[in-house]
Structure 1
Amino acid sequence: MYVPAHFNEARKDVLHTLIAQNPFGTLITHGANGLDANHIPFELASNEGEFGVLHAHVARNNPLWQDVANGDETLVVFRAGDAYVSPTWYPSKHEAHRQVPTWNYVVVHAHGRITIRDDEKYVRGVVARLTRTHEAGETQPWKMGDAPAEYIDAMLKAIVGVEIKITRLIGKSKLSQNKDARDIQGAGETLKARENRIGDQMLACLAEKP
């Protein structure tokens, strides 16, 4: 990924937070049958290894787990928001007319090595933790114990675990940092009014701008 210096986000804690807040990632692999992309939710264990470990699962019918070998390099892309930015939102455009459309976005690329975990204990743990995390906001959170044990056992047999040890994290926050403060303000406020969180991130970025 091309990352100009002014868009670079290298703080590990910030990147971990972005992953935790946007856990639905795109897993890109290059196995025996060539390039493949799968879209799955991940659990980040930030305290495992130097950069963290990603845990997930795929359907047993998905050829991914047989197409790759343990230790293969993988890439998981986490998108943390994006938005079209019109030149008309920049105050300077109305003076000099020297602005063009762009697209702002925040992404994290997690490079790592994959291990297939085809064991019931691992997948049960992954499902339980993902469930607790994503049911937490419900009035009556669903838990695995709500379903008959034999049904859960059958469902777990139909999935295979995926573990990715992160070896490198690359973050890009393209939030108009290369623009004047008033232009960042104008675009950020427009997006915020449209309830796009990129607007909030742009205004937060503005507060950090020297």
Structure 2
Amino acid sequence: MHLLSHNAEHKLDVLHQFIRANSLGVVTTAIRCPPFPLLQASHIPWVIDIVEEDVGSLYGRLRGHMARQNPQAKSIIEYVSQFGSDSNEIWLPEDVLVMFNGLMHHYITPKFHKETKPNTGKVVPTWDYDAVQVYGKARVYIDMQSDTAIMGYESSDKPETRAWKVSDAPARYIDLLTKNLIGIEIKITCMDGRIS
């Protein structure tokens, strides 16, 4: 992401809060697994966890899930199945990128540059937006039966999502849904943002 000094944000508490407020992120993977495209991206709602005891991850971790029918999930499943591991959780070899965008964005016309335009004329139109980018190592949970907590439902700090718990739905229904999901947990290794 192109960051200028006047709108670059590096404070972790600000970046964490931005992700909590704008939790729908686009996860991008680069997985070499023909016939699937190398680069794929999907919108996923994420939960960010900041674990004080986790010395290895100053930035925290993201938790989410995607449907097995999603082409990106299919490529992940196909890729990890090549290794014949019996493990429920497998680390992807390449970093992943998750982009979080703010709700507002807009065009900025040069006419708003009231001082610069009349004096020098050196102004151009631009676009104003807020975004945070996160890089990290992804651990994929292929068998979601074993851990519904990875999906992010049980520990949300958003008031509108606290009213529902996985245990509120019938067990057979949850069992059916989790068979059709893969979990993704990302150990964040780098994050920064652009906040206007």
Give the drift of 1:67: 5.1
Q: Which has the higher helix share?
A: 1
In structure 2, the gaps of 5 or more residues are 81-90
Aligned length: 171
DSSP-derived class of the 1:137 partner:
helix
Distance (whole Å) between structure 2 residues aligned to residue 23 and residue 145 of structure 1: 23
Q: Quick check: 1:37 aligned with 2:41? A: yes
| Preserved CA contact (<8 Å) 1:123 1:160 | no
Structure-1 residue corresponding to 2:139: 115
Q: Quick check: 1:59 aligned with 2:82? A: no
> Which of 99, 115, 127 in structure 2 is aligned with 1:103?
127
Structural RMSD (CA)? 2.5
79-88 or 62-71: bigger deviation: 62-71
Distance (whole Å) between structure 1 residues aligned to residue 77 and residue 66 of structure 2: 11
Structure-2 residue corresponding to 1:151: 173
| Preserved CA contact (<8 Å) 2:138 2:186 | yes
Larger RCO (CA under 8 A, 6+ residues apart): 2
Give the drift of 1:102: 1.1
Distance (whole Å) between structure 2 residues aligned to residue 115 and residue 31 of structure 1: 14
Go from structure 1 to structure 2 and tell me whether the alpha carbon gap of 1:64 and 1:123 turns closer, same or farther (over 3 Å shift). farther
| Preserved CA contact (<8 Å) 1:124 1:156 | no
Distance (whole Å) between structure 1 residues aligned to residue 164 and residue 191 of structure 2: 33
Distance (whole Å) between structure 2 residues aligned to residue 37 and residue 8 of structure 1: 24
Structure-2 residue corresponding to 1:88: 111
Q: Percent same amino acid among aligned pairs?
A: 30
What letter corresponds to residue 66 of structure 2 in structure 1?
V
Go from structure 1 to structure 2 and tell me whether the alpha carbon gap of 1:28 and 1:94 turns closer, same or farther (over 3 Å shift). closer
Structure-1 residue corresponding to 2:99: 77
Distance (whole Å) between structure 2 residues aligned to residue 27 and residue 118 of structure 1: 17
Distance (whole Å) between structure 1 residues aligned to residue 181 and residue 29 of structure 2: 18
Structure-1 residue corresponding to 2:151: 126
Distance (whole Å) between structure 2 residues aligned to residue 142 and residue 42 of structure 1: 16
Query: Could you list the per-position Cα deviations for residues 146-170 of structure 1 after superposition, in whole angstroms to 9, with x for gaps in the alignment?
Result: 4322111111111110011111112
| Preserved CA contact (<8 Å) 1:123 1:159 | no
Distance (whole Å) between structure 2 residues aligned to residue 57 and residue 157 of structure 1: 12
What letter corresponds to residue 36 of structure 1 in structure 2?
Q
